[in-house]
A and B are shown apart, each in its own frame.
Chain A
Amino acid sequence: MQATGWIQFVIYIVALTAITKPMGLYLMQVLDANGRTWFDPLLRPLERFTFRAMRVDPQKEHDWKQYTIAMLLFSLVGCLFTYAILRLQHLLPLNPQGFGALSPDLAFNTAVSFTTNTNWQAYSGETTMSYLSQMVGLVFHNFTSAAVGIAIAAALVRGIARQSVKTIGNFWVDMVRTSYYLLLPICGVFAVVLVSQGMIQNFKPYTKAKLIEPFKVSVEKKNDKGETIKGSDGKPVMEEQTVDEQTIPQGPMASQVAIKMLGTNGGGYVNANAAHPFENPTPLSNFLQMLSIFSIGSGLTYYLGQMVKNQRHGWTVWGVMMALFIGGVLLCWWAEAAGNPIHQKLGVAIADGNMEGKEVRFGIFNSALFATVTTDASCGAVNSMHDSFTALGGFVPLFNIQLGEIIFGGVGAGLYGMLVFVVLAVFIAGLMVGRTPEYLGKKIESYEVKMAMLALLILAIDILAFSAWASVSKWGLDGLNNNGPHGFGEMLYAYSSATGNNGSAFAGLTVNTPWYNTTLGIAMLVGRFLMIVPIMAIAGSLGRKKLAPASAGTFPVSGGTFSILLIGTVVLIGALNFLPVLTLGPVVEHFLMLQGKLF
């Protein structure tokens, strides 16, 4: 853990802190149907046109059920839209490499994955997706699934802030305004900055480069039909081939990567995601990408404080997130910097840490920081391969996802997930002192607690049941790239990532099979929409309640006591749900690694 890492860590924290308030204030304007921003002259006419085309009256608000139904319908239409594009890819334009249509199960998995803000990828972009599929089929959801998440968070915050009303805002207004006023302008600037670092943005066919030093490889000999020829001993016949070319992928990457990061989507343009030199060319582009992942989630805590007129509460929630974030980074960084004793025994320099699956330009620290950020949020972009992390280094991203990605979190999803824990923390505090729990003047009653528990149980059941099923099924085990506890970790990570709508992976697992595509697709749908419905119910219920004035017996939701209670609630619930299963995966793997056991 070198000094250069500490300096970068401090810069990151300072930068994140500095953008929180401006982002929060801007969100106040974006999430108000009559809010004003700098972009009004340009975007107001576009917004009006959109509402006219949709025949939506922006001044008319929804109750929680209308809001939820509109959200579900919009997600369904978008999902079908992308499914159609992926299935018809071979007929559509902007496909210079001539890629064929996706199989039905892969198209289902991908459409669901992007609709739910997961961006789980069972394909590799550079050999599967045409420019149109990337730019329209996938980027559409990068914008809208982010906007939907922010809209849900805004609706929940309104439910908390308002009293004695049924309405919690208009879904269409929240979604459209977020896309136009928040995401578009930032992405426009961000994308150009990324190009300045070396990211590509073009519509050319892939480039063929003549290698400086051609090399020979031995490959399986194939006949005209593409089948492997086998010799008399039953083994494939090998032949030497000279490789003298490198194909360099091209395409409209920067515009996609900007929204992929800002909207905590995380779906890579190419297979290696943000580890690819085009998709993350320099340490500076890496820093900006990491900052953009947290920017909106961090700003939303300030928005919360403003809306409920208790900025200390907003900062307390922020502080809890920051504390959990710092803890995760330090553990992951320490584990990766310490490296793998098995490889060190072979002669790998101890000071270098664990470099398998990491890029030299980022080094240990930026890989560990990125891995923690991307899983604290529900982003899922990776600049290093989590599958090759040490046991404890890989434990951090996995556990972050299982906590529900509430540490700044996915845009919107992080805040509404954390508020579920806030409700529970307040409830537990109420039990301890023997009073009816109150949250910001609203009584927390059995209905809210039931809904909050429902949201958490869905998360745990979805992850555990699917992982258990895969680990006793042939289709599950066939996909493994590693043996021993690490192989189990691959499956556990996959269903945690899908349920949490993260999208990162222990990527050795072969998941482009009908079984994995379908089960992971279902896990993503459950993890997104069955979480949102109970949360919207809480929003509706809180909005109808009267505000009770604070009294001497009111439990304050800011300050040290509440922070500790909230951290305790988050960690305890996460640990109770998942420690047993983690023991079978990364925990036992850690001790086996120290003993030098190989699989």
Chain B
Amino acid sequence: MAKTTRQTQKWLLAAVHLGSLLPLVLFGLDAALGRLGFNPIETALHRSGRTAVAILLLSLTVTPIIKIFNLPMAIRLRKPLGLYAALYAGLHFAAFVVWDFGLNFGLIWLEFTQKPFLWVGLGALVILAVLAATSTRFWKKKLRSGWRRLHRTVYLAAGLALVHYLLAVKGDLLTLQGEYTRPLLAAGALLLLMVLRVPAVQQIFQRNRR
């Protein structure tokens, strides 16, 4: 790799770390200044959830960017983005069980028995946790070709996260009456990213490049 490319990669990596930590820093700042609003728990839940979805979608843009724009150096950005997505999903869950429910597992279980969308979100979280735990070189070697298949379930996690998001909106999903703009934009982005992974679609871009 040329020296300038490595330099660019370093800057991009720094931007990913700074950009991903920024929402957490801003949250801390708002908390310190008493700017979390009148329902700080709800604010924490909404912000952590939205940040997790945004970073998760960003992590999914890396592979298409590599293939379409022929930028193999971008690969180094994928793992940190995925880990940050898992971190925010974990914070989202922690805000729910620790801050909101004070670790009262009876009440938490009651919630889960009554609200299907919580299971969907938990499914996404479990997948992201497994992927984060197996993101090391050790696991990559150990799982060999299975590692790729395992890590493709990130698309399943993203799908579950968006279903969780869509179901959490107040309104009616079938008639789209409610605040669906953001979750639908996210769902559209995920759909596009998945289409870009279809081999036939990738060939179109590669042919154009040649």
Partners in one complex: no
Chain A interfacial positions (CB closer than 8 Å to B): none
